[in-house]
Structure 1
Amino acid sequence: MGLRWDRLDEKLRPAVEASTEQYARVRPALEKVTREMQGIVRSAFADTDLKPLFVAARTKSVESFRDKASRTLPASEPGAPPVLEFPDPLRQLNDLVGVRVIVSLPHEIREAAYVLKRLRSEFDCRSDREKDIGYIESGTYGYSSRHLIMRTIQNDVVKEYQRVLGEPAKPNGSYIFEVQIRTILAHAWSEIEHGIRFKAADPRAWSPYFDRQFVATAAMLESVETVFSELHERYETVMGYWDEDGEGAAPLTPNRIREVWQTLLPHVDRKADDDWGWAAELLAAHGIKRTTELVSLLQADAITRVRRALEHRYSPGPDRLLDDVLLWRFGRRHIELTAGDDAHRRESLLRRHRQIEAYRQAHREAAGEDG
């Protein structure tokens, strides 16, 4: 039983009962409308780069309809009984049919809304509201969701429903419903919160502790989604580095080398200044002048082997690590091209080169024994 219905004034119950009986009668036809809307929304993404995790839909249950139809507003005059907020709920409620588009990351919410609002032959978007905006401006937390209120345009399934509904509805194919777009994490949070806070909430059992915990989990959710968004952006950036006709073709200026290094190896960035000209010189000595070539050099497996071979006593900075990776890749050629007349550097490179060769020999012998 719904809490609002249970507390509804006896004088208002007959009107709500009549609306609920009518809703129960027409609900099978409305379920067809729900399936139709779900299908149109799902097909909207077929030819786009955005692929939602899933598109769900539901028709409001009879019990939920009755409870929402039982909402009241204070009377306009003191002492007068309350009045129904929705005196004609079948035509006033916009959420009898609801479609949910569930995506992976927050930025996809905006993309999904853009796709749906372009379906002008199917829908007219009457309202577009971002639920998280209010939380941000008030300094509080809640799940992020975008709510679109859509109106169908001359839809045949809607016309059939309107014929079943009867007067005063006209079978013009125009029907208003709601589309919610949210991430999978926000969806899970809202489902749990709604189940505890609204559907199963008994005010006698409620505690401020519940509110506190829901706010805390919403804050954690925002942090997790921020991390996932940053991971996605980093992934897209790295993928761009491999595009030989795009970002991968960009020349290796000192600033570009720093940018690529800090993207691929943010944990190895202890230089005290922003001058990466030394790196450009080292790379240019081997003819490495494009972004793709640097990315190919800085692969994790090669860096791991370099670290093991040289057994660094201290975690190397970018200058030492890049020098060692080039020595690993080019061997004595790196020494001849970069040591010049610097006897100290030449001796250091030769010592490290012997360590690398000893490491390689040991692993070749170990591989032969394993074979």
Structure 2
Amino acid sequence: MSSHWERLDSALRPSVNASVAAFERARPRLLDVTAEMEALVRKVTEDADDAPLFVTSRTKTVESFREKASRMVAPVPDAAPALLFPEPLRNLTDMVGVRVITTLPGENANVANLIKRRRNIFDCRGDREKDIGSIESGTYGYSSRHLILRSIQNDVVRAYQEALDPDSKPNGSYFFECQIRTVFAHAWSEIEHDIRFKAQDPRAWSPYFDRQFTATAAMLETVESAFSELHERYETVTSFWDADGEGGESLTPNRIKAVWQTLLPHVDRKADDDWGWAAELVAAHGLTKTIDLAALLQSEIISNVRKALDHRYSPGPDRLLDDLLLWQFGQRHIELTAEEPEAEQTPRRDSLQRRHQQMQRYRKMMGF
């Protein structure tokens, strides 16, 4: 496959050569601009709640600039050949590129908004989601947020503009591209770029490669979704331990249900939505706040209860919560929630007493 430069009409070559020469002459100053834009983006994002993993940048090479400057518009009958970018030094916005690498997809929007709000440093002239087209077309591709930013009255940019055109008045405004993407998407994109666009011999390309890249993009989306869900669950669980925030919320039936389904989603066999029984059980022991229930539903406590009672079946929420309270409060739980000892029939009290004895034997055996 020939390059754009090789296919360029001879009448357009002088113009492209002049642009390439100017770019090559001013590129050392453009490297300074790249470093400056990277430093500014890093400074804007370093104090964010979800600070990026890292920020990188790159400056277009002379060869890459020549290739892009050599692109022509689609041929039109009876029209002379024309360049797609007649003034590449002014038309191209990707000569400087900054990349912000995040952990999770949800952080991309946060970083983009943080950058866009710094209007004293950057003027955002473009903002698009690279994966939106993939979603709407039912295909796959890596997710990335692309911003076109313009620097504002920047002295490093002025030095570049003076080197590029000493006769013009520098204004310190420069367009550059800022990509924001996750570390997973970054890895996928780098590998794809190396194989798909940097292949030494394009004849070596196989349609199977396209199929594999599509498959890995689909897997990437699944992995990112799983990690995002895991992060959200972690944030929710962490909030249960904030006594002044979520942890202080009252244990209504619906609240107990929500906390339970977050901490123990695998133990949820209630056929109805009535969790009033749970509210009554925990209230009997003065457990009225979310943090109280979170402290009770700990894996170590649950493991001990399961081993002590050697359940022959997997208990549902009602039975497991009852057992956890019995483990924590012992005989007091029996006295507070079972029938009176002198009642004609005491099936609950008898069951609790039997389970309590099992727990006592287990505690003694384990040296608790």
RMSD between superposed Cα atoms in Å? 1.7
Query: 1:135 and 1:169 mapped to 2: Cα distance?
Result: 43
After TM superposition, what 4+ stretches of structure 1 lie above 4 angstroms from structure 2? none
Matches within 5 A, 1:248-259: 248-259=247-258
Deviates more, 1:83-92 or 1:225-234: 83-92
Residue 258 (structure 1) shift: 0.5
- Contact kept? 2:46, 2:52, Cα under 8 Å: no
- Contact kept? 1:254, 1:280, Cα under 8 Å: yes
Aligned residue among 343, 360, 364 for 2:363: 360
- Contact kept? 2:144, 2:179, Cα under 8 Å: yes
1:104 matched to 2:103: yes
Give CA deviations for 1:236-265 in whole Å, capped at 9, x if unaligned.
111111111111111111111000000000
* 1:298 partner amino acid: L
Residue 87 (structure 1) shift: 2.2
Residue 53 (structure 1) shift: 0.3
SS in 1 for 2:143: coil
Residue 5 (structure 1) shift: 2.5
SS in 2 for 1:74: coil
TM-score, normalization: structure 2?
0.95
Give CA deviations for 1:108-132 in whole Å, capped at 9, x if unaligned.
1110011000111111111111111
Count of matched residue positions in the alignment of Structure 1 and Structure 2: 364
Counterpart in the other structure of 1:66: 66
Give CA deviations for 1:251-299 in whole Å, capped at 9, x if unaligned.
1111110000000000000111111111111111111111110001101
Matches within 5 A, 1:229-240: 229-240=228-239
* 1:345 partner amino acid: R
* 1:156 partner amino acid: D
Query: 1:2 and 1:55 mapped to 2: Cα distance?
Result: 34
Query: 2:75 and 2:169 mapped to 1: Cα distance?
Result: 32
Structure 1 residues without counterparts, runs of 5 or longer: 366-371
Matches within 5 A, 1:137-286: 137-166=136-165, 169-200=168-199, 202-286=201-285
SS in 2 for 1:128: strand
SS in 2 for 1:129: strand
Counterpart in the other structure of 2:34: 34
- Contact kept? 1:74, 1:81, Cα under 8 Å: no
Give CA deviations for 1:171-213 in whole Å, capped at 9, x if unaligned.
1101100111111111111111111111226442222211111
SS in 1 for 2:150: strand
Counterpart in the other structure of 2:347: 344
Residue 168 (structure 1) shift: 6.3
Structure 2 residues without counterparts, runs of 5 or longer: none
Query: 2:188 and 2:168 mapped to 1: Cα distance?
Result: 37
- Contact kept? 1:123, 1:150, Cα under 8 Å: yes
Residue 40 (structure 1) shift: 0.6
Identity %: 66
